[in-house]
Amino acid sequence: MVHVVNPSLIDFQEKWREELKTDAKPVPVPPKAWLKYFPLESKELFSEQCFGDRRVSILDLAKLANSGAGNRVLFVAAMMWGRGPKNGRLMPKFEQVASHHSFEETLQKTRELIVKGKPVDAYKAWTESELEGIGEAFFTKWFFVCGLDSQAEGLQALVLDKRVWNSLKTIGWSSELQTGKKYRTNQAGAYGAYLEAVRVWASELSTSSLQISPLQVEQLLFRKNGKNLL
């Protein structure tokens, strides 16, 4: 486990206070494309019990993760949220992943590992499965949604995509400095170091009157996209 994280963000308690409190907005979902590529899962998700208003919020995803939803349904929900209203070019990629012979097994294995508090092992399991179609930016969204299960232990699984990486670079965080290994040779370790860093930063940015969660930190890094942080 990483116990010392550089840089420290304690000096940004005041500067980021209001933005850290900003809740993530629900993401609009275009039903037509999803019903075309994933008809069974989409019909279930677009029911009034789930995404009846054609929008997906983190609260919706948490409810779904705790509802006993199957792996495929939960995966499609995560990709709906991650894709949003645009990026239609990603649909064949999602289909490619879901058609792979190890897809079902990998979903089950990684979901179990995330709930057990083993995100680094989940990362390794995903990359070693040789699933093709989506990369870190999207399979960590799957991890995040799995981690919304109320039974999840350990470090909270969070999204690590290009926007978050841009913000990490802006504030001067380096996975190589944290792990002692280059990212390209230790991607799973870098993900674990990132989760630990966000946990430490959430603690640093919290005050006696305002408790900041790792998710709030990740959402700030995502929204900022490397801009206007410092």
Q: Is this model's pTM higher than 0.95 or not? A: yes
Within-domain flag for 3: no
DSSP secondary structure of 116-151: TT-HHHHHHHHHHTT--S--HHHHHHHHHHHTTSTT
d(CA 31, CA 34): 5
pLDDT at 193: 97
d(CA 185, CA 180): 11
d(CA 27, CA 55): 5
pLDDT at 73 over 80: yes
Which of 113, 111, 107, 112 is closest to 131 using CA atoms? 107
Structure tokens that stand for 108 in this block:
């089950």
Backbone phi and psi for residue 56, each to the nearest 5 degrees, phi listed first? -125, 125
Within-domain flag for 177: yes
Q: CB–CB of 100/132 below 8 Å?
A: yes
Q: CB–CB of 159/190 below 8 Å?
A: no
pLDDT at 3: 65
Q: What residues does 27 pair with on adjacent strands?
A: 56
Q: For the chain, how many structural domains are there in total?
A: 1
Average pLDDT on 82-103 reads: 97
pLDDT at 190: 98
Which residues form the domain of 124? Answer: 10-224
Q: CB–CB of 79/107 below 8 Å?
A: no
Average pLDDT, the chain: 96
pLDDT at 143: 99
Lowest mean pLDDT among 48-52, 118-122, 152-156, 200-204: 48-52
pLDDT at 129 over 70: yes
Alpha helix stretches (DSSP H) within the chain: 13-20, 31-37, 39-45, 58-65, 71-83, 91-98, 103-115, 119-128, 136-146, 162-171, 175-179, 187-205, 214-224
Structure tokens that stand for 115 in this block:
């709930």
Q: What is the pLDDT of residues 145-200, one digit of tens each?
A: 999 999 999 999 999 999 999 999 999 999 999 999 999 999 999 999 999 999 99
Average pLDDT on 49-55 reads: 94
Within-domain flag for 99: yes
Within-domain flag for 89: yes
Within-domain flag for 1: no
Within-domain flag for 158: yes
Within-domain flag for 96: yes
Within-domain flag for 2: no
d(CA 164, CA 137): 9
